[in-house]
Amino acid sequence: MKVNVKWGKEVFSDIEVDTTQPPMIFKSQLFTLSGVPPDRQKVLIKGGQLKDDEWGKQQPKDGMTIMMMGSADEIKVEAPVNAPQFVEDLPEEEQNTLETKAYGSGLKNLGNTCYMNSTVQCLYSAEGLKQALQTYQPSALSEPNAKLAQAARELFADLQKGGEPFPPFKFLLTLRQRFPQFAQQTNEGLYMQQDAEECWTQVMYALKEQLKDADGKSAVDRLFGLKLHTQLKCEETGEEFEEDSTVYTLKCNISVDVNYLHQGVALALVDDREKNSAQADRLVLFKGSAKVAELPPYLTVQMVRFFYKVDVRQKAKILRKVTFPLEFDAYDYCTPELQKQLAAPRAALRDYQDKLALEKRTAKQLKTEDGPKPAPVLDAGGSSSAAAAAGDVDMKDADTAAAGPSSAVVAGAQTGRYELTGVLTHKGRSADSGHYVAWTKQEDGKWVLFDDDELHFKTAEDVLALNGGGDWHMAYLLMYKAVTVPEGAVPAAAAAAAAPKAGAAGDSEPEPMKAE
């Protein structure tokens, strides 16, 4: 339906109203038109004041005129359109916006909503998720998960535009409708701080139910699903137990013996539990561990820093310093079957990286020395003949080296290696207090800090310093992106085998292969 809104001497005509959405959505529309923030708006319908979360008896009718009162934010006077303006003459905030516009927008804090803002900014850095949301078409918007997915789609589209920070009203309200725990308030009526990991998990759950690939399978499963295979054995009875499961976060447990991420991950994969024994007819202890059976394009790691402290009735924080890397190798946590599948792609990637490094060293040497010298002759795999003759093998990765280049290797194949692209951090002593921010790596390699509505450039060294050990921001959730086999790493034999044979397609001659 469409309504008219009278605000002072101004009248806004034919405003679309959807009463299936909370009134705050309508107020957000009025904010866009008038500049009056929702908390200052007094919207009168049929003599009653419209609330934020429900329409109640104030149901509008098509074509009716509604009264709004409230003062707008101060409007900045814009400079003449044709007036020349230099970047250094702009206010510092505007200069920063111009520099960071290509990386998205900040999100205004709507009252202890930094947990949501940081979650959104980290998820927005996953290109695969952006693509899945762009093509999302809800079948029924009456379904709560569909509403949240649609709100995420619209929010990602707004972030894509860049520019000034904006308030994510619709996404917040839809999140609170779907998961009421995020609408908890204090005795004073203020919205409470929430756990960002819980927000991340719930949003992913809702999107998993809605985002589907062309084959009807979950896009979230494909992008973030980590398949585990668990093997347990009871020493007392000799019984064995196996199970397969899908998780969306790899845990990093933190104890007094954990100083590095790989130690915490290994500790978390240990799975000792009590189960009913058919032989003993009672609960017995089964011991074992889980192994990764399938790796996703995006790997999320949770630093398990919070635990419930009974005496203070809140989630207390483990401040211990745990170092995490910019590049993470999941190979050691995989099943033997998966390790075998990863061997050839890992060898192809390593050879390709060695080739690039050798070319870089050679170019540098030619540039610095007096006269040009012949470059080392490279074999088909990209290694120098001298290195090959000396049998130069990296024993740390001997299993992948033994695999060698294989015609089975294809571009985009998983290698088990990942690069860090997002970090959600927390500053404070409790998960339900303090402050959350997001640090994301952009396509051009720059790191950007999203602190609600503020964006700042950071370095890789700044990110690595988020490892804990004090009251500064420390990593809580890590997002890694898979390092796959690049096009240039596919062996020539494989490329030739994949190319169409002469005469196979309308007797047309195949195009000659170009040298890299």
- Which sequence spans correspond to the domains of the chain? 2-69, 124-219
Q: Three-state SS across 425-464?
A: EEECCECCCCEEEEEEECCCCCEEEEECCEEEEECHHHHH
Q: pLDDT tens, 223-280?
A: 999 999 999 999 888 888 899 999 999 999 999 999 999 999 999 999 998 888 888 8
Max mean pLDDT among 84-88, 99-103, 323-327 falls in 323-327
Parallel/antiparallel/unpaired status of strands 474-484 and 414-427:
antiparallel
Q: Does 430 score more than 50 pLDDT?
A: yes
Can you tell me the distance from the alpha carbon of 422 to that of 200, in angstroms, rounded to the nearest whole number? 13
Q: Angle at the Cα of 324 (from 320 to 325), degrees rounded to 5? A: 165
- Using CA atoms in the order 325, 329, 335, 338, what is the torsion angle rounded to 10 degrees? 150
Name 299's bridge partners: 480
136 closest CA partner among 220, 199, 202, 205: 220
Q: Does 287 score more than 50 pLDDT?
A: yes
Query: In this predicted structure, what is the pLDDT of residue 447?
Result: 98
- The values of phi and psi at residue 454, to 5°, are -110, 135
Give the pLDDT band (50/70/90) at residue 31: confident
Q: What is the mean pLDDT of residues 280-306?
A: 94
Q: What is the mean pLDDT of residues 401-416?
A: 71
Q: What is the DSSP letter of 328?
A: E
Burial of 76 (C-beta count, 10 Å sphere; 0-12/13-18/19+): exposed
Query: In this predicted structure, what is the pLDDT of residue 210?
Result: 96
Q: 50-54, 129-133, 268-272, 446-450: lowest mean pLDDT where?
A: 50-54
Query: In this predicted structure, what is the pLDDT of residue 278?
Result: 84
* Residue 52 token pair: 């934020």
Q: Does 78 score more than 70 pLDDT?
A: no
State percent of the chain over pLDDT 70: 82
User: Is the backbone of residue 297 left (phi > 0), alpha (psi -120 to 50) or beta?
Assistant: alpha
Q: pLDDT tens, 128-187?
A: 999 999 999 988 878 999 999 999 999 999 999 988 999 999 999 999 999 999 999 988
Residue 92 three-state SS:
helix
**Which are the catalytic amino acids?**
114, 435
Can you tell me the distance from the alpha carbon of 19 to that of 26, in angstroms, rounded to the nearest whole number? 9
Residues 6+ apart with CB under 8 A from 36: 7, 30, 68, 70, 71, 72, 73
Give the pLDDT band (50/70/90) at residue 57: confident
493 closest CA partner among 472, 469, 513: 513
Q: Does 395 score more than 50 pLDDT?
A: no
**Domain 2-69 is in which class?**
alpha beta
Q: 107-116, 363-372, 490-499: lowest mean pLDDT where?
A: 490-499
